Amino acid sequence: MKETIIFVHGMCHGAWCWEDQYIPYFEKLGYNCIAFNLPGHETEGSTKRISYSLSDYEQAVRAEVEKLNEPPIIIGHSMGGMVLQHFLKNGSCKKAVLMSSVPPSGALLASLRVIFRYPRVVPFLLRSNLLGAFKKYPHLMLNKTIHTAKYANRMCAESFSAYLGLLIPISHNTTIPLLVIGGSKDGLISVREFERTANYYNAKLTIIESGSHDLMLDEDYEKSAQAIENWL
């Protein structure tokens, strides 16, 4: 029987971020791949304000897992990585990958770092407009202009309530095998934070040299995909 991988996207993204490169890659390896939209992320490029909590997103992941007969592998990106960590408090899967993930300590440090470097994000935050902030500074997620032009307009509005939930540290551990993977050129999460996440969960750590926050959209996405393949 084929193993199933569930892909959980991050902030302002959707299922689309997995579909161009990662899903074809892992399907060729024989995996059954499932990418779904978290609530409110169904329409690419939507600027419609949404209001969901991290708990709402966690329940969406749980619903996908409960459709399956066997425990899946789950890959959570960025905010989706924190959603996955919350899921693992009481949920279960075969293996889990935290990709460019918000660390268990929360997103406060990353947020302050962005505000310090790019103070013009503050007006966007005051208007609860996370999408506007990322469109102004797309290199926080995408580190090449060609990818900015291709993907930035596909991003959608994000729930500010969910973002506030990311600021709160999570306190639990898990026996599920975990891989922590991140890029050395991630504009949001630092390599040191990836290291701390791996240490917290006693997980394997892989850093992709020159990788962006959106590893699955990078030109050399095969580096991260192959690292995940080898770990699995």
Residues 17-71: pLDDT tens digits?
Answer: 999 999 999 999 999 999 999 999 999 999 999 999 999 999 999 999 999 999 9
pLDDT at 146: 77
Q: What is the pTM of this model?
A: 0.96
Domain that holds residue 174: 4-231
The DSSP string of 6-68 is: EEE--TT--THHHHTTHHHHHHHTT-EEEE-PPTT--STT--------HHHHHHHHHHHHHT-
Number of structural domains the chain divides into: 1
pLDDT at 1: 55
The list of the chain residues with pLDDT below 70 reads 1
Exposure b/e, 70-100, CB count within 10 A at least 16 = b: eebbbbbbbbbbbbbbbbbeebebebbbbbb
| CATH number of the domain bearing residue 212 | 3.40.50.1820
